[in-house]
Structure 1
Amino acid sequence: MSPNTREKSALMIERIKSALDKIVPILIVVSIIDFSLSTLPDLNEDIRNSINLIEQFIVIVFSIEYIFNLMYRGRIKYAFSFYGVIDLLAILPYYLALGLDLRSIRLLRFFRVFRLLKLTKYTKALKRLAMAFDSSKEELIIFSISTLVLLYLAGVGIYYFENPVQPEIFSSVFDGLWWAVATLTTVGYGDAYPVTAGGKFFTFIILMLGLGIVAVPTGIVSSSLSSIKKKD
């Protein structure tokens, strides 16, 4: 291939990439609106057919983008990268739904929401957020494991405090785990709550820890975001 031909090829690739970078973010938003409209119960057949045509067009463009990236960004490296997986999830449900029953299609359509994650490629602020999660993933994994351990201990603890007096509400550790999730996240649905003095004191401790659970990951990600912004 001559230098002139390579230059023309590179220029064409750059133009295709530039066009996709402009079109795809718009189609992501259109796709989400299209999906939301498709859930309306009283749509007539013409509107539903139009929604399906829009979806088909969007999938075609997303498929072209995915194949283009596979060809020019390194097949294996791109296919298993974060954005490669997201791009695949954006189109795979449509192809898998072909020939399946209605219940399976409804489940697969839910995965269209992953298309929103594609926006992280086209928005600088969202790119920073993705980089912040990536750079602090080890800390977040350790924190998540610690949270799961704390949830289990909280579920077991409240079970032993409350089961003797509320056997119908805290009938097992699993009921205690549901209470622990609602309490540690500070949601407090009110469907299960302690009535014993020991259970109330235990709940106070869990609530204090719950405030920390909300704050710690926020601090970790915020610190990573600040670091990335300084580097930029």
Structure 2
Amino acid sequence: MRERIRSIVEINDNKASKIFGIFIQVLILISIVTFTIETLPNLKPETRSILYIIEVFSVIVFTIEYLLRIYVTDKKLKFIFSFYGIIDLLAFLPFYLSFGVDLRSLRALRFLRLFRILKLVRYNRAMNHFASAIKSAKEEIFLFLFITVILIYFAAVGIYYFENKAQPENFASIFDSLWWAIVTLTTVGYGDVYPITVGGKVFTFFILLIGLGIVAIPTGIITAALTRSVDKK
């Protein structure tokens, strides 16, 4: 019986495992949709009751799935404290924590229901390739993030010296300038803070060019890693 359950709940090529995987994926998506609908104002009590029933059903299924995975695994503690084990636990734990407690004080815990999205990684081969790619390129990604942080600070310092006297209310300190540096280097450009001096505009031009590279570089790193992951598979 234990081996039979293992063949179903763990990813295999048999029909029962595929049906189980599809069922869990659909249930995750449904629970995320209901979570989103719950945020709508002025919902009818009947609608809230239906959403609550769906939530209870989802929690029961996720709880049973979690307990079955603990039952079939040979290294139970290792699974419980693994990435997937923690994600599986967070998928239903907030629901149980809300019993007997003012829900308003635990409203932040409802946000943890979004961890159910991460459960899809277990059942999606494309996501598995992505996870493998991130793992294989972690050194390059870390190096890129480190360089990005340095560039953001450099941009904040530069724009501070160019614009501080002209716009003391927007660039009062380097800390204030960091907001401009982040939205500029990421090419978001909200337009709420912008340079007005000639030096600041020229400096911004070069920072924008660097920002375009910052957007493109991680794309190339992850794409190369994905290609290696697929070829290896």
Q: TM-score w.r.t. structure 1 length? A: 0.89
Contact 1:20 1:65 in 2 (8 A): no
Report the secondary structure of 2:91's partner residue: helix
- Does residue 215 of the first structure (1) align with residue 216 of the second (2)? yes
RMSD over equivalenced CA pairs, Å: 1.8
Conserved in 2, the CA contact under 8 Å of 1:155 and 1:179? yes
Runs of 4+ aligned residues of structure 1 deviating over 6 Å after TM superposition are none
Give the superposition deviation at 1:16: 5.1
Aligned match of 2:51:
51
1:66 matched to which residue of 2?
A: 66
Task: Report the residue type matching 1:84 in the other structure.
Answer: G
Offset at residue 28 of structure 1 (A): 0.4
Q: Which residue of 2 aligns with 1:83?
A: 84
Amino acid aligned to 1:10: E
Quote the residue 2:4 is aligned against: 11
Provide the rounded CA distance (Å) in 2 between the counterparts of 1:180 and 1:196: 16
Deviation of residue 217 (structure 1)? 1.0
Describe the SS at the equivalent of 1:188.
Answer: coil
Deviations 1:107-161 (A, max 9, x none): 2212222211211111111111111112212221221122112211211211111
User: Structure 1 stretches of 5 or more lacking a match?
Assistant: 1-7
Distance 1:205 1:151 in 2: 13
Q: Does 1:138 align with 2:131?
A: no
Q: How many residues align?
A: 225
Corresponding residue for residue 224 of structure 1: 225
* 1:36 partner amino acid: T
- Counterpart CA distance in 1 for 2:195 and 2:167 is 9
The unaligned stretches of length 5 or more in structure 2 are 11-16
Correspondence 1:31 to 2:24? no
The aligned runs of 1:176-215 (5 Å cut-off) are 176-215=177-216
8 Å CA contact retained: 2:133, 2:225: yes
Judge conservation of contact 1:97–1:104 (CA < 8 Å) in 2: no
Call closer, same or farther: CA 1:177–1:139 in 2, change over 3 Å. same
Q: Secondary structure at the match of 1:27?
A: helix
Offset at residue 99 of structure 1 (A): 3.5
The CA distance in 1 between the partners of 2:44 and 2:85, in whole Å, is 36
Which amino acid is 2:160 matched to? Answer: Y
Deviation, 1:75, is 2.0
Q: Percent identity over the alignment? A: 51
3-state DSSP class of the match of 1:62? Answer: helix
Alpha-carbon displacement from aligned partner over 1:178-227 (angstroms, at most 9, x marks no partner): 00011001011111111112211211121111111111111111111000
CA spacing shift, 1:110–1:184, aligned 2, 3 Å:
same
What is the 5 A alignment of 1:112-191?
112-191=113-192
Change (3 A) 1:152 1:101: farther
Question: Relative to structure 1, is the Cα distance of residues 92 and 139 closer, same or farther in structure 2, using a 3 angstrom cutoff?
Answer: farther
Asked if the contact 2:91/2:116 (under 8 Å) is kept, the reply is yes
Q: Secondary structure at the match of 2:195?
A: coil
Distance 2:114 2:91 in 1: 8
Secondary structure (helix, strand or coil) at the match of 1:116 reads helix
